[in-house]
């Protein structure tokens, strides 16, 4: 689901493995809407490495 949100927001394909490795700082620098950025951050924190 996060992969689809990122594709719509940034027009890029991103894998779940990349999302899992994202830090809050990386997500903040992407310039996403607040709700999307929060969803990505939560997804990256709740997924096991």
What is the model's pLDDT at position 16? 86
Residue 47 pLDDT > 60, yes or no? no
Tell me the C-alpha distance between 36 and 33, whole Å.
5
Instruction: Please give the average per-residue pLDDT across 2-14, as a whole number.
Output: 89
Given pLDDT bands bounded at 50, 70 and 90, which one contains residue 49? low
Confirm if 41 and 28 have CB atoms less than 8 A apart. no
Query: Over the stretch 15-44, which tens digit does the pLDDT of each residue have?
Result: 988 988 888 899 899 998 999 889 888 887
The whole-number pLDDT of residue 29 equals: 92
Q: Is the dihedral of CA 31, 19, 1, 46 positive or negative?
A: negative
Torsion sign across C-alpha atoms 12, 18, 24, 26: negative
User: How many domains is the chain partitioned into structurally?
Assistant: 1
For the chain, the C-alpha Rg in angstroms (whole number) is 10
Boundaries of domain holding 39: 2-46
């Amino acid at each position: 689901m996060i992969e689809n949100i990122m594709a719509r927001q940034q027009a890029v394909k991103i894998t779940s493995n990349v999302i899992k490795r994202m830090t809050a700082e990386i997500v903040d620098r992407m310039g996403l809407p607040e709700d999307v950025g929060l969803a990505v951050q939560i997804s990256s924190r709740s997924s096991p490495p």
